Structure 1
Amino acid sequence: MVRPKVHDEALRRRLLERAGAMLSAGGPAALSLRTLAHDCGTSTTAVYSLFGGKPALLNAVLEEALLRFTAHLAVVPGDDPVADLVRLGAAYRLGALADPHLFDAMFTGELQPVGAQAALGRLRELVERAVEDKALRPDLDPATAAVTLWATVHGWVSLQRRGLLPDDPAPRLEEALHTVLDGWRAPVTI
Structure 2
Amino acid sequence: MKQKPYHHGDLRNTLIEAGIELINEEGPGGFSLRKVAAKCGVSHAAPYSHFKDVQQLLEAMADHVTEQFTLSLQASVDGQDEPMSAMEKLGTAYIAFFEQHPAYFPFLFFQSGITIQVDGEEDVPPYPPFAVFRTTGCRLFRSLGLPPERDGKMLMAYWSLVHGVASLLSSSGIRYSGKWQEVWQVILQSGGTER
Q: TM-score normalised to the size of structure 1?
A: 0.81
How far 1:88 sits from its partner (Å)?
0.5
Matched, 1:170 2:156: no
Deviation sequence 1:123-164 (CA, Å, 0-9, x none): 2111221233x3353366122211221111111122223334
Count of residue pairs the alignment pairs up: 177
Letter in 2 for 1:56: Q
Amino acid corresponding to residue 181 of structure 1 in structure 2: G
Aligned-residue CA RMSD (Å): 2.5
Contact 2:73–2:90 (Cα < 8 Å) also in 1? yes
Cα 1:136–1:46 shift into 2, 3 Å = farther
Does the C-alpha gap of structure 1 residues 166 and 138 become closer, same or farther in structure 2, counting only changes over 3 Å?
A: farther
Q: Which has the higher helix share?
A: 1
Percent of residue pairs bearing the same amino acid type: 25
Give the TM-score, by structure 2 length.
Answer: 0.79
Return the match for 2:136 from 126, 137, 149.
126
Q: Which residue of 1 aligns with 2:57?
A: 57
Gaps spanning 5+ residues in structure 1: where?
1-6, 185-190
Task: Supply the AA of the counterpart residue of 2:55.
Answer: P
Task: Give how far 1:79 is off.
Answer: 2.5
Per the alignment, do residues 124 and 147 of structure 1 end up closer, same or farther by CA in structure 2, a change over 3 Å counting? same
Higher Rg:
1
Structure 2 counterpart of 1:83: 85
- 2:113 is paired with a residue whose SS is helix
The match for 2:4 is none
Q: CA deviation at 1:8?
A: 7.1
